[in-house]
Amino acid sequence: MSEIPKKTVALNAAKIGGIASFVTVVLNTLPEPYGSIISYAIIVCAAIQAAVPAPPTGSYWVLPYRAMSVVALNVGWAINHVACRVNASQGPVAHDSKPPTPPT
């Protein structure tokens, strides 16, 4: 198993700390009911994203699912990607949808 360089660990920790601080500052500057509503929306969308598989390509639900993914802050290597594989040694990430079949 390869070692992760300390510089990478420090950079990732700085990113996480910066994002957490930014979200905290933004939510604390909003009036009271709005910060709670925004937090609730993020949590609910993230829970739905974790529980519901992605719709197949070409479905009418693709655009709402992507919008919900943005609200849930589910970007990059978030829960949908991690659930497909345990680590990078298992190969590329599996896709939920089947490739389109060519017309005959």
Using one digit for the tens of pLDDT, what is the confidence trace for 13-40? 898 898 889 888 988 898 888 888 888 8
| Total-model pTM | 0.54
Does residue 20 sit in the same domain as residue 1? yes
pLDDT given for residue 77 in this prediction: 58
Has residue 19 been placed in a domain?
yes
The label of the residue with tokens 């479905």 reads: 59
**Do 85 and 46 share a structural domain?**
yes
Q: Is 10 helix (H, G, I), strand (E, B) or coil?
A: helix
- Based on the fold, state whether residues 48 and 25 are members of the same structural domain: no
pLDDT band at residue 85, thresholds of 50, 70 and 90? very low
Residue 74 has pLDDT above 60, yes or no: yes
Shared-domain flag, residues 38 and 48: yes
* 41 shares its domain with 20: no
Residue ranges making up the domain that contains 18: 1-30
16 by DSSP, 3-state: which? helix
70, 45 contact by CB (below 8 A): no
Q: Is 59's pLDDT higher than 80?
A: yes
Name the E strands within 18-89. Answer: none
* C-beta neighbour count of 74 within 10 angstroms: 19
pLDDT for 9 equals 85
